């Protein structure tokens, strides 16, 4: 049974365990500082397919297969899968996962999807709604660029605040039993919109949602940030993560050296020309399912607060003059139950 803690947080009394996880990334991500941590680096960004969208589907398909393999289970063992992506109608997910025959609950959380899907999977397993559940998402630089921004062939200049969409995917399989890490607490965020309209500054749009959810988690649980070995956001990048520190500081919450952002971890910003850092659903997903979970398994990290943030706009809504609402969901992962 779960216990609600405060207004926003859910404590899982029988924390589900990670049974397996996997990450697959593209060439550029494989040239970054986390190269040794991914399960697979694909040199061919098409993943052998003829369109970027099909490439993203192949990426999700490969990642789920790897996670199932590492968990040593077949698709028939998985009771439900939670997944989504950035593409219109989430076709990276539907075409990537249709062949598995696993009951499917589609999500749309933009870049918050890894935390949203992981939280959903944890709920279903903890409550006995599923014995085994999978959580999955992806992004692909080329499918995202042409949908959200400009044709790649145009070669447009990018603003310094812009981020680079990660070509990558991460999948987690959760079950009732296992040797961890465990999902212990969940905080589902509410939408926050402070009026940002600049599509080239997603970090600024997302930081207030990240601050809102983190503040809720700390208020609800009464713990302070130093309880964690790592507090990690999904893809705020350089602009957004600095803003997050500032916003929380105003509320009296100080994020210390234990705070980092997947968008700052996945690339070497000095060397890789990614401006403010990485972004996309696949950013948080591939960093969680490599560096973070690897370090939890090896005992280098014990208490991790993983929070992914997403912007809930579309190119059309921005063209229509709308500002950009964002959302952030947090999952407390722990090596102890």
- Which lies closer to its own copies via its Cβ, residue 118 or residue 266? 118
Q: Is 306 in the site for its own copies (CB under 8 A)?
A: no
- Which lies closer to its own copies via its Cβ, residue 110 or residue 162? 110
Among 25, 130, 134, 196, binds its own copies (CB under 8 A): 130
Tell me which stretch binds its own copies (CB under 8 A): 177-185, 275-283, 289-297, 324-332: 324-332
CB of 174 to its own copies, least distance (A): 15
Q: Is 160 in the site for its own copies (CB under 8 A)?
A: no
Among 171, 264, 285, 312, binds its own copies (CB under 8 A): 312
- Which lies closer to its own copies via its Cβ, residue 190 or residue 271? 190
Residue pair 92/111 in contact by the 8 Å Cβ criterion: no
Q: Is 322 in the site for its own copies (CB under 8 A)?
A: yes
- Which lies closer to its own copies via its Cβ, residue 45 or residue 94? 94
Q: Is 150 in the site for its own copies (CB under 8 A)?
A: no
- Which lies closer to its own copies via its Cβ, residue 87 or residue 166? 87
Residue pair 46/27 in contact by the 8 Å Cβ criterion: no
- Which lies closer to its own copies via its Cβ, residue 143 or residue 295? 143
- Which lies closer to its own copies via its Cβ, residue 83 or residue 238? 83
Calculate the CA 54 to chain-centre distance: 21
Closest CA to 284 of 254, 262, 311, 310: 262
Q: Is 48 in the site for its own copies (CB under 8 A)?
A: no
Local structure of 157: helix, strand or coil: coil
Site string for its own copies, 85-124 (x = CB under 8 A): -xxxxxx-xxx-xx-xxxxxxxxxxx-----x---x--xx
Structure tokens at 165: 């969409």
Q: Is 2 in the site for its own copies (CB under 8 A)?
A: yes
Among 174, 308, 325, 333, binds its own copies (CB under 8 A): 325
- Which lies closer to its own copies via its Cβ, residue 111 or residue 162? 111
CB of 56 to its own copies, least distance (A): 11
3-39 residues labelled b (16+ CB within 10 A) or e (exposed): eebeebbbbbeebbbbbbbbbbbbebbbebebeebbb
Q: How far apart are CA 198 and CA 205, in angstroms?
A: 8
Site string for its own copies, 185-204 (x = CB under 8 A): ---xxxx-x-----------
Q: Which CA distances in Å does 60 have to 28, 84, 327?
A: 17, 10, 23
DSSP state for residue 246 in the 8-state scheme: H
Nearest 5°: the CA angle 184, 298, 43 is 100
Among 19, 67, 68, 80, binds its own copies (CB under 8 A): 80
Size of the site for its own copies (CB under 8 A): 60
Side-chain half-sphere of 159: how many Cα atoms within 13 Å? 11
43-59 residues labelled b (16+ CB within 10 A) or e (exposed): eeeebeeeebbbbbbbb
Q: How far apart are CA 82 and CA 66, in angstroms?
A: 16
- For residue 186, give every residue at least 6 positions away whose Cβ sits within 8 Å of its Cβ, in sequence order, or none: 9, 10, 12, 119, 122, 123, 329, 330, 331, 332
Among 222, 252, 270, 316, binds its own copies (CB under 8 A): 316
CB of 327 to its own copies, least distance (A): 6
Interface residues with its own copies (CB under 8 A) are 1-4, 8, 10, 51, 53-54, 79-80, 84, 86-91, 93-95, 97-98, 100-110, 116, 120, 123-124, 126-131, 188-191, 193, 312-317, 320, 322, 325, 327, 329
């Amino acid at each position: 049974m779960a216990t609600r803690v405060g207004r926003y947080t859910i404590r899982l009394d029988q924390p589900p365990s990670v049974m397996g996880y996997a990450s697959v990334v593209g060439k550029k991500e494989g040239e970054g500082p986390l190269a040794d941590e991914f399960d697979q680096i694909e040199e061919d960004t098409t993943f052998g397919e003829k369109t970027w969208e099909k490439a993203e589907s192949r990426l999700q398909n490969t990642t789920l297969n790897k996670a199932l393999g590492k968990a040593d289970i077949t698709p028939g063992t998985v009771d439900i899968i939670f997944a989504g992506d950035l593409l219109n109608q989430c076709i990276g997910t539907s075409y990537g996962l249709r062949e598995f025959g696993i009951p499917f609950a589609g999500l749309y959380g933009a870049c918050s999807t890894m935390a949203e899907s992981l939280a959903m999977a944890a709920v279903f397993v903890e409550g006995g709604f599923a014995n085994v559940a999978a959580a999955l998402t992806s992004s692909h630089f080329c499918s995202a660029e042409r949908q959200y921004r400009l044709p790649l062939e145009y070669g447009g200049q990018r603003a310094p605040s812009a981020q680079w969409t990660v070509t990558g995917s991460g999948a987690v399989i959760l079950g009732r039993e296992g040797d961890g890490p465990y999902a212990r607490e969940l905080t589902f965020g509410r939408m926050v919109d402070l009026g940002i309209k600049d599509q080239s500054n997603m970090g600024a749009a997302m930081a207030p949602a990240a601050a809102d959810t983190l503040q809720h988690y700390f208020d609800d649980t009464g713990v302070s940030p130093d309880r964690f070995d790592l507090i990690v956001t999904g893809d705020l990048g350089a602009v957004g993560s600095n803003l997050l520190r500032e916003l929380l500081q105003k509320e009296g919450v100080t994020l210390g050296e234990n705070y980092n952002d997947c968008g700052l971890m996945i690339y070497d910003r000095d060397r890789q020309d990614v401006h403010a850092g990485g972004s996309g659903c696949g950013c948080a997903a591939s960093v969680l399912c490599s560096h973070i979970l690897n370090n939890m398994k090896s005992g280098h990290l014990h208490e991790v607060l993983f929070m992914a943030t997403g912007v809930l706009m579309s190119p059309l809504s921005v063209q229509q003059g709308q500002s950009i609402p964002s959302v952030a969901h947090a999952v407390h992962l722990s090596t102890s139950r």
